[in-house]
Chains A and B, each alone.
Chain A
Amino acid sequence: MNELKNPSSGIGLGIAGLILGILSIPFGILGCTFMLALLMGILGITLSAVGLSQARQANSSTGLIIAALIISIIGTSFAIIRLTNSAKKTKNIFWEWDKDWKNKLEELDDDDDTGDYSSTFEDAFRKGFKDEVEIDVEINTGDLEEELEQLERELERAGDEVERSLEKMSDAEKVEKLGRATGKAVRGFIKELNDSVEE
């Protein structure tokens, strides 16, 4: 006949597991503290499992320890459900953003007032690409520092002019200007690249 070697063997770990398990349940239900609940739940399961093994080896009572194990498992389950819900929510948020941008682009295409921007841009780009690249800046002095300062002033003036003219333009005109400027810039870049390769 099996005798009780130590009636309280594993009980200490069982009680610790029970407390952690009980705490993990409300923390797992609340949204903000589920990671804490997960940690408590896993610790509770571990302590209860070790306590149960000790109690079985010592043939002592296991009721409390089994209750602690079950409660810890329940608390951990709630925390895992919260974790999966938050992962799903994050995925849905990114999907909503993606859908939002796609809807906005489709709205731009469908909008009759502003027209089809993609073909306007393409036409303007082709025209700008064919245009010769010209820079209207006159520098008369031989001093490098003065030359740089004059260039800076010219660029600032050009920038202000561009800003003023952009304010008066409609969206279609802006896209056309942008397309032409981009075409010119790409043409200028290719020309410079060819010149440097030839050298």
Chain B
Amino acid sequence: MIFIYSAAFSPEKGNYPVKSSYEKITGQPTLSTGMSRAFSSIVRFNFDEALNYNRFSIRIFIFFLVQFFMRIFILLTTRNNLFGEVKYIVIPDAIISAVMLLIFFEPFWRELFYI
């Protein structure tokens, strides 16, 4: 969904339907400002431009990309019962995803909790 959204809108036009709520309320940018434009640049393979829009864009994009492939892997393995019971797949998946969330979103956790 995120990849389709990024590909559908271009950073030059800036015609994204989802606007920054934080900037609307405070008038100030935040760490995630420019993320939509950066993602659109990444799907178009303009990595330098993506870093200009938002310096954390590539790490967040990698997170979503890995999660996308993990979902496909989990779906295939659970359907074909490759690892026996479902819990032997779901529990490690949940742990890995939670750890990835903590590591990849680390600057945003700091911003959220003023660390």
Task: From the candidates A30, A86, A87, A89, name the one contacting B108 in the complex (CB within 8 A).
Answer: A30
Q: What are the residues of chain A within 8 A of B23 when measuring CB–CB?
A: 32
Which of A35, A90, A93 contacts B21 (CB under 8 A)?
A35
* A30, A81, A87 interface centre (most CB from chain B within 10 Å): A30
User: Do residues A29 and B108 form an inter-chain contact, with CB atoms below 8 A?
Assistant: yes
> Of A36, A85, A90, which is within 8 A of B112 by CB?
A85
A35 to B30, CA, bound (A): 14
CA–CA, A93 to B28, complex, Å?
A: 9
The CA of A25 and the CA of B60, in the complex, are separated in Å by: 13
CA distance A87 to B20 in the complex (A): 14
Q: Which residues of B contact A26 (CB under 8 A)?
A: 63-64, 101, 105
Does A31 contact B25, Cβ atoms closer than 8 Å?
no
How many A residues face the partner with a CB closer than 8 A? Answer: 19
Q: Are the C-beta atoms of A33 and B112 separated by less than 8 Å?
A: no
- Asked if residues B35 and A30 are in contact (CB atoms below 8 Å), the reply is yes
Q: At the interface, yes or no: B65 with Cβ under 8 Å from chain A?
A: no
How many A-B contacts if CB must be within 8 Å?
64
Contact of A34 with B by CB under 8 A: yes
Q: Which residues of chain B have C-beta atoms less than 8 A from A85's C-beta?
A: 112, 114
If A26-B101, A29-B105, A30-B32 touch, whether A93 touches B27 (CB-CB below 8 Å) is yes
Q: A129 within 8 Å of B by Cβ?
A: no
Closest to A35 in B: B21
A25 CB, min distance to chain B CBs, angstroms:
7
Find the B residue at minimum CB distance from A23.
Answer: B1
Given contacts A30-B35, A32-B20, A33-B32, contact A86 B109 (CB under 8 A): no
Sample 8 A-B pairs with CB under 8 A, ordered by A number. Answer: A25-B101, A29-B112, A30-B32, A31-B32, A31-B108, A32-B32, A81-B113, A86-B21
A contact set with B: CB distance below 8 Å: 25-26, 29-36, 78, 81-82, 85-87, 89-90, 93
Query: Interface of B with A (CB < 8 Å)?
Result: 18-23, 25-28, 30-33, 35-36, 60, 63-64, 101, 105, 108-109, 111-114
